Structure 1
Amino acid sequence: MRELLGPVLEREGVELYDLTMSANKRNSLFRIYINKPGGVTLAHCEAVSNQLSAVLDVEDMFPGSYTLEVSSPGLTRKLTKKEHFLKSAGSYAVIAFKKGFAGGLSEVSGFLENREDGGFRVRLDAGKTVDFNFDDVARAKLDLEPGKEI
C-alpha cells in the first residue's frame, strides 16, 4: 500500500503522516492521514482519495470491497513515531509515560523540544523540564495550549 501511495502523495505535495488498515472477510478499511507544512485542505484529501481509489481499483490487490478514508491527522493528532516528535518541536503536547519511567511521572503536558542527543524534552509550566526518550512514551498527542484560542 505504501508503494502505491508514494507517487500519489508526491503529485499532491503532501506526505504520509500515518496509515492504518483493518480487514474482515468482506471488506478492508484503509485510513490514510496526510500532512504538509501549513496543513492540508479538503481538496488535498479529495484528490488523494480519488487518485488512490483509481490505483486500488486497477491493482485489485484486496479481496472483496474496500473503504478508503483520507484525512488530516488533526490539531490533536497522535504522536506514534519518533519522526512525529521531531516534527512537533515547539508544539504543546500531552505525554503519558510507560510504567517505571525514571522520572517517576505518569503524564505531563507542555511544549516539546528536541535534544541534541536524539532524545526529547517537555517544558512544563514554571520553567521546569522533563527529559525523555521515545522508548519511554506509552502514548502522546498534540493538544491545544490551555487558555489559548484557536
Structure 2
Amino acid sequence: MEMRRGAFQFGYWWIHVTWAGTIVHKVSFSRTGEEADIPLQLRQYLNGKVNGISPLTSVALESDYPYSKIYREVSKIPYGITKTYSEIAEITKTNPRLVGNAMKRNPTPLIIPCHRVVAKEGIGGFTPDIEIKKSLLLMEQKFSKSLNLS
C-alpha cells in the first residue's frame, strides 16, 4: 500500500500525517505547513465533528512496537475522558514515569490519544506545546457535552 503524507491546520499548529490505508505511521506538529489531504476521520475529528477516528489505527499498536502495551491501554480511553499517568501505569503494571516516556515518544498522537493522559495534579506535558493538549481536551469536552457523552 502506498505511503501518503498530508497536513491540516488546527489552531496555530499544523498537523502532519503519514499513513498507508488505515494504518497511521506518524503524526507530528509544526508551526508551518501546507494544506494537503489527510484521512477523512482525522479531519472530521479535528473539526470537532466526530468523536472517533475508526477505522484508523496506529503502527505503534503492533505487539512488537516499544511501549505497545501502554499505547493499547491509552487507546481505550474514551473521547472526552482523561486518565492519569498513574492509572495507566497501574493497569499496565509499570510506573508513571515510564508511561510519561511512552507518551512523549508516541509516534501517532491523536490516533493514540496521549492528550487524554494527565498528571494527578494538573494537565501534564505535551510535545511540542502544552497548548495543543489543552485545545484538544477543550474540544473533546465541548463536543462530548453536545452529544451527551459525559
Instruction: Compute the TM-score of the two structures, normalised by the length of structure 2.
Output: 0.24
Instruction: Name the structure with the higher helix share.
Output: 2
Question: Whose Rg is larger?
Answer: 1
Q: Structure 1 length normalisation: TM-score?
A: 0.24
More strand by share: 1
